[in-house]
Structure 1
Amino acid sequence: MTGTDEGIGREFTMRLGTSTLGCLLLHFAALCSCAQGGVQSPPNFKQHVNEQSRLSDRTSRRLTRTYQLYSRTSGKHVQVLSNRRVHASGEDGDVHAKLIVETDSFGSRVRIKGAKTGFYICMNKRGKLIGRRKGRGRDCIFTEIVLENNYTALQNAKYKDWYMAFTRKGRPRKAARTQQHQREAHFMKRLPRGHLLADRRPFDIVPYALGRRTKPSRPATVN
């Protein structure tokens, strides 16, 4: 064999080895991608709960509760007046201090309205508490946060860093200046005067008309 033939043979062998190595690398990369695609990460239930808590529940029956909100700062109860103003200067058992609280999601988001006036407590873009006839917007939804001192803070669903709060005189505090740890944002739930815990269920279901398919069937009689 001549020197030329030996050079051609070595070049052919190098090309063959390079092509074989390339094929092996391609196969290895394909196997890695298949393995990554086949392994599924476990579901993040905490993230799912947080996402669902931000959505209004339109499929379940809404539950209602009736109570008063005692302000830690003013020593009085939150009122929803007929002029759409919201104050924390109501006495125990005052008709304007009786509140109806409706659940908005399976979490702790609620809508609060005055039982006497029917106005929902909402928060406008300036951080002022006002009463509105319709409380469908997210600015009328509050998240109940139970604190370590057993008081409850009410965080607005639209304005995440804003809380319902009142001054010592019962006037609404500007929401932009509120924080969760402040006394002005602390409330305690209390039953209205004259309402005993044994006389009422803790939750009531909002009634609605039953359709044909949802009517309960009569129990079968045994002869």
Structure 2
Amino acid sequence: MGFLRIRTTVDERPGRLASLAAALAARGGNILGLSVQSDAAGTVDEFVADIPANPETVREALETAGGRRVQVVEATAHELTDEPTRALLLASRLRTTPWRLPELLGELLRADDARWIYGEAVSDLPDPTQLVVPVAPRRAVRLRRSELPFTLTEAARAASFARLAQPSAEQRGDERTVKLPDGVEVRVRPLTSIDREAVRDLRGGHYAHV
């Protein structure tokens, strides 16, 4: 037996989910987890299943059962955690170490790569395997996941998670605008813990642009 993470877009019709579950059961599959997400192309059902069939066989079976844009990747027992509990634990870690936002966002969405980017970040990219999460003016986190495209639900989840790392209202109240001799106005605020990684990047000499 092996664990598989399965995603498929489904039509909003009665019995469609039951058809997909029956297709997995017919190949000896045991569904261990199920979540439903929204995406631009429709509703996305995600299963974690213990099943003896190989990914390609499972993909073909689900397409025959009515699934669209079916993606099947190998999973591990580590992924069989309660998702709300996992998200809360990650949020707790973020509150104490907000400069680790890319790492924790990567864990939340099981991304292959997560890193700070600087410049004019574009969050609505045509590449579904890439997600850009704005954090501050000219600063964002870019996530990449090659095998499973990001959904709209995941994008919203990432944006909410990133807001936990933002300065509190009290910290934002310390911001002020200063006019320079040449007339240019700049915003000045105290450094916060989330600035730690950006400062480290500048000192290390590898400031990145997009």
Q: Do they superpose with TM above 0.5? A: no
Q: Given the two structures, how large is their TM-score scaled by the length of structure 2?
A: 0.23
Could you say which structure has the higher strand fraction? 2
Question: Which structure carries more helix by proportion?
Answer: 2
TM-score normalized with structure 1 length: 0.22
